[in-house]
Structure 1
Amino acid sequence: MAGKVLIGVSGWRYTPWRGHFYPAGLPQWRELQHASRVFNSLELNGSFYSLQRPSSYATWAQHTPGGFVFAVKGSRYITHMLKLRNIEVALANFLASGLFELGEKLGPILWQFPPAMRFHPEVFEAFFRLLPASTHEAARIAVQRDERLQGRERLEPGRNRRIRHAVEVRHESFVTPEFIRLLRKYRIAWVVADTPRPWPLYEDVTSDFVYMRLHGSTELYNSRYTTQELERWARFIATWRDGGEPDDARLVCPVRARERGGRDVFCYFDNTDKRHAPDNARELMAMLGVTWKPEPAAA
């Protein structure tokens, strides 16, 4: 059975989109409502910069329709400041900060690493061991939060659901089959990150889902994707969705992923500065025949 294709944008609150993607005069508090009825998934960025509150997650869940999915960006305190060392309490705080309020709308957690951070196998394997594979596992970690979360935590996970993880790396030391094997061992997705910078751009499949971030092919966070570029990505997504792997994929590891019945594909456009992300996302949806008919929003 073919996987699901979820296409959206990274974040949703951008001034240049007002009067362009967002109708003129639309109140700011309704922007998420609007975006979540155009796209079936969005990347939630605020969680990267600081711990959010359960009330914020609850509001985001309430303002989005049934069937919608958030990808949640992991805390930069863990990835950029602690650099994955001594992170047990920080991970507990992140998991206790309100993610469970998203319920069925909780999608993959994205862990993005800084360009200067190198691959140290023992550090990353220890990190991967800590990552919860389900919401019940996450709840067992979350109870270890510290006093900063007292009175503003959410520790009840509800029905047990799988938690997926994806990693975006930006240093050439990760371009080694050893890292790909490690990702496959823990079923963590290598992020296919398109960027003009000298960051790794490879398309290895390392889990039962694929995670893409399209930052702009010629100008970081800015350039618009051409029809030809989008057609290539549409072809790749269709192949991944059907459980295969494109013959012309750029690979770190010569051993390809096993074929399967299908894979879910999460694709987010991050070329936001000149309003291109929403337009490119809608173009790609049309190419793939992805239609989004939202269920009614939660009461």
Structure 2
Amino acid sequence: MSTAIRVGIGGWNFEPWRETFYPKDLPASRELEYASSKLSAIEVNGTYYSTMTPKTFAKWRDTAPDGFMFSLKANRFATNRRVLAEAGESVRRFVDSGVAELGDKLGPIVWQFAPTKRFDAADFGAFLKLLPSGSGGVALRHALDVRHESFRDPVFLGMARDHGAAVVFTESDDYPALPDLTADFVYTRVMRTRSELVNGVTDEELDGLAACATRWQSGGQPDRLPLIEPDRAPQRRERDVFVLFISGAKERAPAAAMALIDRLS
């Protein structure tokens, strides 16, 4: 199967985007239609806080164009808990909520953990065993968004690799960077956009992001990223790549995403 680089933002409902992204006369009901026509991916934050219905997922699927993908943040009840091994019911409730209705527009499921959550090998290993490989005939891909320095551990990377889960690479001033590849796709969250820049990032930063994404897609590892396991070369194979502009100067996220899409084209 061919691979792709998909670039997008978090969500599509954000009031400042009425000034910086959406046409002024665009009805709010058509924001997803417009956003998905300009971008190639969106990370849905609403699924982290609320349980959606199959009808909602089907509506999103039918609104977005072919080739577009939604990544979904898994419900917080599955990840914001002291004992992850006890998350089975919450994991099943989320996966069975209708995510399969997205069909081939379903991107990775992002399991986001609190910044205070430390790596516990036994407990995290038990949690990974709870993540299903599919739902309703649709294959599931899992991305682990860990936010504590204790996860910069080869043991954790090995566990993610054994389960085919990607470790989210976060470009942030607040959270650790884990650039080692552990899956057949790459998931990057860029959180350093700045309000004083029209595109949120500089031309040099766009060039760097484009170079990284292209290198990842072709099966390589960008040279500029310091790895936790520098002596372990990733398996050489083409990969899907997701680059999401999240947080930072959120009003600039759509401009940053569109500028990167332009660079890649």
TM range (shorter): over 0.9
Q: How does 1:194-213 map to 2 (within 5 A)?
A: 194-197=171-174, 199-213=175-189
Give RMSD over aligned pairs: 1.9
Distance 1:58 1:202 in 2: 34
Matched, 1:287 2:260: no
CA contact (8 A) 1:2 1:241 kept: no
Deviations along 1:151-171, whole A, 9 cap, x unmatched? xxxxxx2xx332110011111
CA contact (8 A) 1:71 1:106 kept: yes
Distance 1:194 1:98 in 2: 31
Residue 20 of structure 1 deviates from its aligned partner by 2.5
Residue 282 of structure 1 deviates from its aligned partner by 0.9
Residue 107 of structure 2: aligned partner: 107
Q: Which runs of 5+ in 1 are unaligned?
A: 136-156, 290-299
Q: Against the structure 1 CA distance between its residues 8 and 81, is the aligned structure 2 distance closer, same or farther, given a 3 Å change threshold?
A: same
Matched, 1:215 2:191: yes
Distance 2:239 2:29 in 1: 34
Residue 266 of structure 1 deviates from its aligned partner by 0.7
Residue 120 of structure 1: aligned partner: 120
CA contact (8 A) 1:19 1:25 kept: no
Aligned amino acid, residue 155 of structure 2: E
Residue 257 of structure 1 deviates from its aligned partner by 3.9
Residue 98 of structure 1: aligned partner: 98
Distance 2:209 2:121 in 1: 31
Q: Secondary structure at the match of 1:130?
A: coil
Q: Which runs of 5+ in 2 are unaligned?
A: none
Count of matched residue positions in the alignment of Structure 1 and Structure 2:
262
Aligned amino acid, residue 48 of structure 1: Y
Residue 247 of structure 1 deviates from its aligned partner by 2.2
Distance 1:83 1:233 in 2: 36
Aligned amino acid, residue 51 of structure 2: L
CA contact (8 A) 2:194 2:249 kept: no
Distance 1:254 1:176 in 2: 12
Deviates more, 1:11-20 or 1:75-84: 75-84
Residue 166 of structure 1: aligned partner: 143
Residue in structure 2 matching 1:189, options 166, 174, 189: 166
Deviations along 1:80-103, whole A, 9 cap, x unmatched? 135524112111111121212212
Residue 274 of structure 1 deviates from its aligned partner by 5.0
Deviations along 1:15-58, whole A, 9 cap, x unmatched? 00013210002111100000011111111111101211222112
Normalised by the length of structure 2, the TM-score is: 0.93
Residue 115 of structure 1 deviates from its aligned partner by 0.5
Residue 191 of structure 1 deviates from its aligned partner by 0.5
Distance 1:235 1:78 in 2: 35
Normalised by the length of structure 1, the TM-score is: 0.83
CA contact (8 A) 2:115 2:146 kept: yes
Larger Rg: 1
Q: Secondary structure at the match of 1:7?
A: strand
Distance 2:41 2:250 in 1: 21
